[in-house]
Structure 1
Amino acid sequence: MGQQASVPKPGTKFQVIGAGLSRTGTASFSEALRILLDGPVYHGGTQATRGPESEIRSWIKLLSHFPPQSDSDKKLINDILRERLDGYVACTDAPTSGLVEELVELYPDALVICTIRDPDAWVKSMQSVSNAATMSFLRFVLFPLPGMRYFVDYINVLRNQWLHLYQEAEPATTKTHYNHIAYLKRVVPPEKLVFFNVKEGWEPLCKVLNKPVPDIPFPRINDGEAIEKLSKEMVTKGLVRWLAIFATLSVAFVPYLYLRK
C-alpha cells in the first residue's frame, strides 16, 4: 500500500495468486513478480487506495457478499474478481489474500505463493495498520475525496472477512497468522502452494517460477513507511479540501449577510 496503482495490460495471462497477509512483504513481492513475469501486478491495498473509485467500491460490493450464501453471491464474487484481475499477471495483498479458494477455482493453473514472516514481528507491524484504519474522524476527513470517502466502509468489510476466516480481526494476533496458513492448506492443492520469505531474495522465487535470477537487487519496499505516508497524505488532502469548501461557503454567504444589514 502507498505505491502507485498498476495499469492492466489487455491479454495478460494470470499466473500467480499472492496469498500472503498484509505486512508480509507484499509490496516487495509485487514488484518482484512484476519484474519476473513482465506484467502488471494487482496489489490490493495500493489499487483500492490509489486507483479509481470503481476499485474500492467494487471490493466493498464483493466483500458485502462474502462468504457467499447463494449461487448469486458466488457469481457476483467471481464476476468482480474476473473484472478486477483482467490484464494482470498476479494479485497480492488484501482482499484477494482472503479469497484464495475462489481464485484457485477461477485460475486453476495459477501458482499460489504465500509471503510469510516471523509471526510475532507480523503482529507488531499490524498495529500501525490498525491504528491508521480506525481513527474515529477518518470518515469525516476523507469524505471530500473521491474513492477514499469509502475507505472506512472498505476497512469494515475487510474486518468482516477476517472474522469469518480467522475468527478475529483487531487486534491481530498470531492466531490469525496460523489460521491463515491452515486456511491455505485446506483450500489449495499441496502441489500448487508455496511459502516464501522476501528476505530470501531472488533465488527461491526464481526457482519456483522457473525464471533466471535478474541482475538487479531484490526489491525492498517498506510497507510500514508507505502506509504511514499514504495516511498522512490522505488526511492532509481531506483537511485541505474541507478548508476550501468552508472558504467557498464563507465567500458565498458574505453578500447575503451584507444584504441582511
Structure 2
Amino acid sequence: MGQQPSSPKPGTTLQVIGAGLPRTGTSSFTQALATLLDGPTYHGGTQITLGHPDTITHWISILRDWLSNDKHQAQKTLHQILSGYAAIADAPGSQLIPELLELYPDAKVVCTVRDPDSWEKSLDNIRHVATLWFLGVVLLPLPGMRHFVTYIDCLEKQWVRLYGERAPTRLTYEKHIRWLEEVVPPERLFFVDVKDGWGPLCQALGKDVPVGVPFPRVNDSDAIDMTAKYHIRRGLVRWVGVFVVIGAVGLGLRKLW
C-alpha cells in the first residue's frame, strides 16, 4: 500500500505484470510504473483497502473461482477489473501469474525482490495486523471492508495451495521465485530491487530513465499501519453512531410507554 487508489483509463492496455510478493517494494514499484508507462497502475493492496467497496468482493470472487479450479471465470473477472490499467502489482495478482500471462500475452513480468530474511519479518508484521481477532466485528459497518476477514481467508488458502504454508516464511519467498521461473518464459521474466532505482527497471522495460524525476520511495510499513488505523477508527465511529441511534430509539419507546 502507500498510494491513493487509481482509476482506469479507457483504451489503456496492460503492459507489465508485477510478480513481486507483498513487502518487496510493490508500492514504490507501482508508482514508478505509472511514470514509465504513462498510465494508471493497479496496486492490489491499495485498491482492495482504499478503492471502491466492490473491489474486495470482486477479488473474493476471483479467488474462490481460482480455488474451485474455475479458471475461465476467474480470468473473466480479472480482465474486467484490469481493463484500462497499464500494470498490476502486489497480491493477489502476484499469485495469478499464469492466468494473467494468458490474458496479456505481450506483457512483461517483473518481480520485485528483497532480502528473504527481512521479508519474512516484514510480512509477519502485516499478517499480525490483518488477522487481529476483533477486525470482523469492528469492520462490519463499513461497506467493502466488512468482507476483509473473508478476503484474508481466501488469500491464505491461495498461498497454502501454491506454497504449502499458511504463515509465510523465508521458504515461501524462495518457492515463489522458483515457481516464477517455472511458469514464466525466461525472456519475459525480470527481477528488480527498488533500492537500485530507475536503472534496472528501465532496462527491463526498454524505457529511458526519467530526467529529473526521483524514484518513488514509499514506506509500506507506515502506509499499512495508517490504513489499518484509518479503517478501525471508521468502524468504531460507525458503531458509536449505531449505539447512539439504538439508545435514542430506546429512550423514545420508554417515553411512549
Contact 2:2–2:218 (CA<8 Å) still a contact in 1?
no
**Rounded Cα–Cα distance in structure 1 between residues aligned with 2:209 and 2:85:** 22
Q: What secondary structure does 2:240 align onto?
A: helix
Contact 1:56–1:147 (CA<8 Å) still a contact in 2?
yes
**Rounded Cα–Cα distance in structure 1 between residues aligned with 2:245 and 2:67:** 45
**Rounded Cα–Cα distance in structure 1 between residues aligned with 2:222 and 2:33:** 21
Q: CA deviation at 1:127?
A: 1.8
1:241 lines up with 2:238 in the alignment:
yes
Aligned to 2:193: 197
Q: 2:108 aligns with which of 101, 107, 111?
A: 111
Q: Which amino acid aligns with 2:213?
A: I
Q: CA deviation at 1:255?
A: 1.7
Q: Which amino acid aligns with 2:117?
A: D
Aligned to 2:136: 139
1:81 lines up with 2:84 in the alignment:
no
Contact 2:16–2:87 (CA<8 Å) still a contact in 1?
yes
Contact 2:29–2:194 (CA<8 Å) still a contact in 1?
yes
List aligned pairs for 1:2-81, cutoff 5 A.
Answer: 2-69=2-69, 73-81=70-78
Question: What TM-score do the two structures reach when normalised by structure 2?
Answer: 0.98
Q: Which amino acid aligns with 2:125?
A: S
Contact 1:2–1:50 (CA<8 Å) still a contact in 2?
no
Q: CA deviation at 1:216?
A: 1.4
Contact 2:40–2:85 (CA<8 Å) still a contact in 1?
yes
Q: CA deviation at 1:2?
A: 4.3
Q: Which amino acid aligns with 1:86?
A: S
Q: Which amino acid aligns with 1:46?
A: T
Structure 2: state its 5+ residue gaps: none
Q: What secondary structure does 1:135 align onto?
A: coil
Aligned to 1:159: 156
Q: CA deviation at 1:128?
A: 1.6
Aligned to 2:223: 226
**Rounded Cα–Cα distance in structure 2 between residues aligned with 1:49 and 1:232:** 12
Q: CA deviation at 1:208?
A: 1.4
Distance 1:90 1:154, change over 3 A: same
Q: Which amino acid aligns with 1:182?
A: R
Contact 2:29–2:216 (CA<8 Å) still a contact in 1?
yes
Q: 1:213 aligns with which of 209, 215, 222?
A: 209
String of CA shifts for 1:144-181, please: whole Å, max 9, x gaps. Answer: 010100000010000000001111021x2111101101
Question: What TM-score do the two structures reach when normalised by structure 1?
Answer: 0.96
Q: CA deviation at 1:258?
A: 2.0
Q: Which amino acid aligns with 1:13?
A: T
Q: CA deviation at 1:114?
A: 0.2
Q: 2:117 aligns with which of 116, 120, 125?
A: 120
- How many residue pairs get matched? 256
Q: Which runs of 4+ in 1 moved over 4 A?
A: none
String of CA shifts for 1:27-83, please: whole Å, max 9, x gaps. Answer: 0000000000000000001111111122110110110122453xxx12111101100
Q: Which amino acid aligns with 1:49?
A: T
**Rounded Cα–Cα distance in structure 1 between residues aligned with 2:130 and 2:87:** 26
Q: CA deviation at 1:23?
A: 0.3
| Percent of pairs with identical residues | 52
Q: Which amino acid aligns with 2:116?
A: P
Structure 1: state its 5+ residue gaps: none
